[in-house]
Every structure is written in C-alpha cells, then in structure tokens.
Amino acid sequence: MEKVNWSLLVISLCVLLWGVAGQYEWQIRDAFDEIRGKVDKVSADNCFITHLDDLYLPEDSVSHHPDVKEININPVFPNRTAMLHLHNMAMNRAFFWSYILQSRFIRPAINDTYDPGMMYYFLSSVADVSANPYINASSIYFSPNMSYTSSYRGFFNKTMPRFAPRAFRADDFNDPVHLQKISTMNTFHVEDLGAFDPESLSKDYTSEFYRINEWYKKWLPDRVAKRHDTKTTYQVEIRYANNTNETFTFHGPPGNDENPGPVNWTRPYFDCGRLNKWLVAAVSPVADIYPRHTQFRHIEYPTYTAAVVMELDYDRIDINQCPPSLGNDRPNRFASTARCKETTECEPLHGWGFRRGGYQCRCAPGYRLPSLVRRPYLGEIIERATSDQYYNNFDCKKIGWIQRLPVQWERAHPFLRAMYVDRHYEYVNASSGPAALHTERVNLYEVLNFIRGVQPNNCSKYNPSDLFLNGDIAFGHEEQFENQAKMAVRLANFISAFLQVSDPQEVFSGNRVADKPLTEDQMTGETLAIVLGDSKIWSAGTYWDRNKFTNRTFFAPFAYKTELNTRKFKLEDLARLNKTEEAYTNKPWFQFLKQRWSTNFDSLEQFFLKMKIRDDELGKYLKKYERFPTYYRAANLKHGHWTRPYYDCDGHVKQWVITYAAPFFGWDSVKVKLEFKGVVAVTMALMSLDINQCPDKYYVPNAFKGTDKCDRSSSYCVPILGRGFEAGGYKCECLQGYEYPFEDPITYYDGQIVEAEFQNIIADKETRIDMFKCRLAGAASIQSSVIVILTVLFLVFKLR
C-alpha cells in the first residue's frame, strides 16, 4: 500500500513539474483580475489593520452611473435599473426629510418640536431596505449638533451630539427565529450609529478615524457662510380638506439640472466592522433652516444638516467588458477585457454582476456566423474555453459579396404588393377610432393613432368605456415600471411597520417618550417625496380607509405634477371630494384591495427587526429596544394591484396612465389581529412604456405580439429598449444560415425603417420593403479555382 502511495506521489510531482494545461493558461492578466484581487484581499478579519487605500476600489470600477440629466432623454438599460432605483430612493428620502424638517413653518409656533421621533427614523430606514431587495442598507447621518428630536421629554430646541439611524439586511441563516435554517433576507438590524463613547474617535462617523465615511464627506459639513441663496428651492401648492389653499416653498437637494446633481456616488468600499461587504453608496443631502427658533429669521439660513445614504452590494453591479465606443464611454476600468475576436463585436448582457462573461460577441459588419451556429457567442462560454477551443472557434466568416443600399426606390410590383396586402389584411380598409381596439387582428397604426388622438380638449367626447384599454395593451408594465411600484411598496411597508411596532401609549423609563401617531404633515411629505424622487411617477396618493387615520374620518394626500421636469408640484387632500363617484374609497383598485385583504393575512411578508437605540439624549452607548426582536407584516410587490391603462380625463394627470396600488395594514382597536388600513398608489404615463411587437407564446397577454414586419423565413425579431409607445421598437436579426447582405455599419434591419417601408407599400408608394430580407449564406461570393478551370477545359476538349 505504501508503494502505491509513493508511486502516486511521484506521478503527481512529475505532472506538476511538466506543467498543467489549465483552462485559463491562454488568458493574460487584466483589469478584472486586478480588482478581483483587491476584493478578495480584504475580509472581516483583517479590515481593521488594512491600509486605508485598500478599503476602497478605484472610482472607475463602477462605470455608467445613471445620470439624472439624461434619464428622460436616453434609455436606462436593464444593467443599470437597480442603480437608478438606488439613486431615486436617495432622492426620495432626501426630499422627504428636507420637507418634514422645514414643515414647522406651516404650523403655529409652539414650545415643542414637530420633528418625527426616533422610531420614525428607524422604521423609515427599515422600509427602504425591506421593500427593495437590491438595497442592502439605508441610513441618514446628521452633522454634529444638528439633529432635533421629539423622543425625549424637555428636549425642545436641543440637539443630539450625533444621530445616525441605519438599517441593514442581515443573513438570518443561523437565527433562532427561523427553525428551517433558510436565509429569508427578511431580518434587519437597526442601530443608531450616533451613540458611542465620546472618547472613541474610530466610532465617530464624522471623524477621519472612521476611515470608510466617504459618503459623509460628499456633502457634509456644509460651509455656506450663512448665505441664504445657496440651496435650491421647491414649491408645492397644497389644498386641504376644508378647501383652504397654501403655497409652501422649502429648500432641498440640488436640482436635476444643476451640477452636481441631487445625488453623489461613492467609490466601492469595504464596510468594515458593519456589513463586512463591498458596497457602493448613493448619497443625497438633507436641507434645513438653521439655527432654529431664534425669532430672527434673517440669521436663520438654509444649510445641509444631514446626508441620506443608500447602499448596494458591489457584487450585484454588472461590469461592462466591451471596448469603448459610441454610447459606451469611459471611464470604465473593465473596458476591453472581453474576449471577442476581430471578426466580432462585443455587446453587454445584464444580470451577471461582478463576474466575467456578461457579454456576447456578435458578428461585425461584413461578417456572418458559421452555418452551424445559431446565436451570437456567449461571453461565459468564451471565458471558459481552453486555448484550443478559443483559437479554433468563436469566429465569424467574411461575406464575400456585399451589396450597396439602394439609392433609387420604386413602387412595388402589383403582385408583390398583393402578397403583402393578403398577408396583412388588417391594414387595408381598417377600422379607426375606438373600434380599432376590438378587431380580430390588431392594426397597430390605428390603435396608436386612437391612443395619441385622445387629448385633454376632446377626452370628454368619448364614451367612458373607450377611455379604458385592455390590460394586454400595457404588456411589460410589471417589469418596466417595477422601480416605480417599489416606491409605493416602500411607503406601504413603512406605514405598516409604524402602525404595528410603534405604540403612542407606551411608557418608557427616564426622559424617553413614545413616538406620536402619524401626522398629516408626515403623510403629506411622504406622498410628495414619491413624485419628487422618481421622474416617471406623475402622481402618488396615500388613501386611508374610513376612520383609520388619527382624528380624521377620511384622509388622502394626493401629489402630482403637470410638467415632466419641474420644481413646482401640487398636492391636495382628496377627502374634500364628497360626491359618490368622486370618493376615493369607491375607486375600483381601492375596493379590490380592501376586499382581497379583508380577512386573511397569512400570505403577507413577515419582517423581523433587531433594534438598538441610544441609552439617553447624549447617546454614550447602545442598548436593545424593549421588544428585541420584534416583527411586522407587510405587503410585497406581488400583493399589490395593477390597473388597466386608462385616460385620466376627470383627474389631474390628463394623459394615458397606468396605476399600481399597494395595501398597508395595522392592528385593530384591541390589537388582536391585523386589519386593512388603506392603500398607497402611484401613477405612470403609458407613453413611456416600450411596446414589444415580437412573436411570443400563445398564452402571453401582449396585444401587439406578432405585429413586427420581419421576414419570418430569413430573420427573427429582437426588441429594442427605449423606443417608447411607438411602432418599430425592434430589430430583425438574420436566422441561422443567413447573412446581412448590405454594406452597412449595422448587421440587422431596424424596426422603425421596416415599419415605414411597410406603410409605403400598403399606401402604394415608392418602397424598398422587399429588400429587408436576409440572404442565404450558401453562395456569398464568386470564386475561381485553377483545378476546376483546367478540369472543365479538359472535359470540353475531350468531348470534342
């Protein structure tokens, strides 16, 4: 046996000395390996003694940050939607805290503070994370001695030295609460990072010794030299339930058109001693009028008193390995690390996170795929290939005969036109107006003409049923408007948490007092922040059921805007509407959710909270909250309700819209069981939705599927994002065994051009529609062979 072991050892050593033909031997070290090495170098065990520079990654290791100045101009692709939502959530919270901290100017001056209590801050941070699976942590960090609170008796116009409530998602795999030993991702740790020993500078988030507080330095401390004109103002026109009006102007983060914008991004950093993960943060400032209660308004000036920080796991952010090009600009640390060959072009794919292979290699112009290959080469397959596989495969073949695009167009032959008319008969003598919605086969152009034709000045002339579209018209809304729906779910989560966790009647020892019930100003600010925080949301409302809000029979703050990019907003309490057809409690979506959640709440998500609060006003150490751990139940994204697309003719947003509503819950009067308390609803414009015209399975509810004009025998349809509610949002790619025959910088037929030429042939105008076909890749060029020519000549002479 020993001889066998020695023999195996000798053979292993010989193999090692000879060399192993490893899978990645042919790959040279690049920027990805550099960043991967830095990421793996730091851990929870050594981060405290690691050099400061090693706790940060280069700024260009995250590329293509969402630019708020281009959001409504250029499309945001799927590989950046999570970062865009992080950006919008930071804006949402910054606008809310700025509004609520200055809303004291709306109310009469009293010897008390209108500021929210500590539990409001804690549960607000929890809701930011619980409603958004991609957000790892949410926090707000106040500058020294700039945070006021109503949570301590006799603390009017006094400040806490530091205050920084932070909630983060915990791994509850080994938590004794979950006996199944399965990570639910529904457990959250909440701490006040402003409570620490004053002599421990390494725990002071404003100090240089904190090391990872780049998010604090992005906006704080704010040095404004007591000037009054340094902060952007926003205006909201408020109409109360008693029909009184008020215009309130408050200071907030910088505007979208300013430089810098409302949100700054940090470098990726290792969250040492906290989450112990690599994170990226979006940071937005909170404005307030400071100092307070001086009775001399001229010495009170607007300044940034806090910073909202939203953090995302770095591993979840897609990297872009493709070379720089138009639309794919630097800085990008991972540019040109893709393994595409010279005959191919790199195209990023989404959903891969921080790992190699998140791209595909498409054939470059003038080249085609081999006949045995069906789709572009996946980067994941290329990255795993051996050197033999890589150097002998993953190439495209050169197209030998390339045609020029036609310059002179002609009317189609009557026979050719008859073929198209027979194939697409729904476009001949088609029904127009509302009737176009009820035909056997959809005439895309007439449907779009009807939808675009409904305007505020003529919508009242249509039958009310014509102003409601079928649900399949808005196919894809659940994915494309997911971030906007999460805004509603976030607020519904917060209200549910506050109603179930915070008890206004609770009595604590010492000077600490319980949070007061939710106020009208707080709900008004939360609703307004949704519209301010996401430009795709045109209106938002928080609709409370009868007698569910404190001291109010009905209460429904509704915020909206009338222009896309504006700093002026409107808000009104819909409780002022008394007519039966106008009452919000009679709206179909409100009634649907109220009936759905009238009795059974078992399917609601259960969120566990482990909260640690400060010991007293000065906060020298943390202590566990009286109920540790505690929990609440709330709705997730799937528990909400999407309406059919409709034209808001009698409402404030006079355009085609679609609404998402999420329910919130609280304890009943005896605190025995949950009950339905109300609904949070957000409304988005239908015209910002992308149409998908490509074919799909028979059971997919898409009114426009199969309306593309690609030649099915030689090409297939691929959707193009960002084209909006218009025809032509696709491209026609060549099928396996076919090639794109034209001299062109692209290798496909653009759907908008195809649709335009199709309309020309239907109208019997000059067209080139019949040229939008891929060519069989069998005889791409004329080539000669000496042997073949000599053989033919020999046979000719022989036959003579």
pLDDT digit string, tens, across residues 31-44: 999 999 999 999 99
How big is the chain, counted in residues? 800
Least-confidence region, from 42-46, 600-604, 703-707, 795-799 = 795-799
In degrees and rounded to multiples of 5, residue 335 shows phi and psi of -60, 140
CA distance 662 to 637: 8
CA torsion 451-457-463-468 (nearest 10°) is 40
Identify the helix (H) or strand (E) that includes residue 251: strand 245-251
CB-based contact 345:368 (threshold 8 Å)? no
Taking the alpha carbons of 27, 31, 35, 37 in that order, is the dihedral positive or negative?
positive
- Checking if the pLDDT of 227 tops 90, the result is no
pLDDT at position 582 is 87
Average pLDDT for 644-667: 95
Burial 764-792 (b: 16+ CB within 10 A, else e): eeebbbeebbbbebeebeeeeeeeeeeee
pLDDT at position 334 is 94
Q: What is the pTM of this model?
A: 0.92
Model confidence band, residue 80 (pLDDT cutoffs 50, 70, 90): confident
Model confidence band, residue 20 (pLDDT cutoffs 50, 70, 90): very low
Alpha-helix residue ranges (DSSP H) falling in 535-584: none
pLDDT at position 7 is 62
CA distance 346 to 357: 11
Identify the helix (H) or strand (E) that includes residue 390: helix 387-392
pLDDT at position 692 is 95
* Residue 269 DSSP SS3: strand
Tell me how far CA of residue 69 lies from CA of 72, 74, 79, 346, 688, in angstroms: 8, 9, 18, 27, 17
Average pLDDT for 567-581: 91
pLDDT at position 45 is 93
pLDDT at position 647 is 95
- Checking if the pLDDT of 796 tops 80, the result is no
HSE, CB side, 13 Å, CA atoms: give it for residue 656: 22
Task: List 140's β-bridge partners, or say none.
Answer: 308
- Checking if the pLDDT of 718 tops 60, the result is yes
Model confidence band, residue 2 (pLDDT cutoffs 50, 70, 90): low
CA distance 659 to 216: 37
Identify the helix (H) or strand (E) that includes residue 543: strand 537-544
Model confidence band, residue 15 (pLDDT cutoffs 50, 70, 90): very low
355: left (phi over 0), alpha (psi -120 to 50) or beta: beta
pLDDT in tens, 737-771: 999 999 889 899 999 999 999 999 999 999 988 88
Mean pLDDT of the chain: 90
Q: Which residue has the tokens 């909270």?
A: 609
Least-confidence region, from 104-113, 456-465, 654-663 = 104-113
Burial of residue 21 (number of CB atoms within 10 Å: 0-12, 13-18, 19+): exposed
pLDDT at position 8 is 54
CB-based contact 485:660 (threshold 8 Å)? yes
pLDDT in tens, 494-541: 999 999 999 998 888 888 999 999 999 999 999 999 999 999 999 999
Average pLDDT for 592-612: 93
- Checking if the pLDDT of 19 tops 70, the result is no
Give the DSSP letter of residue 507: B
- Give residues with Cβ within 8 angstroms of 130, minimum separation 6: 186, 188, 493, 497, 605, 607, 634
- Checking if the pLDDT of 22 tops 50, the result is no
CA distance 115 to 156: 10
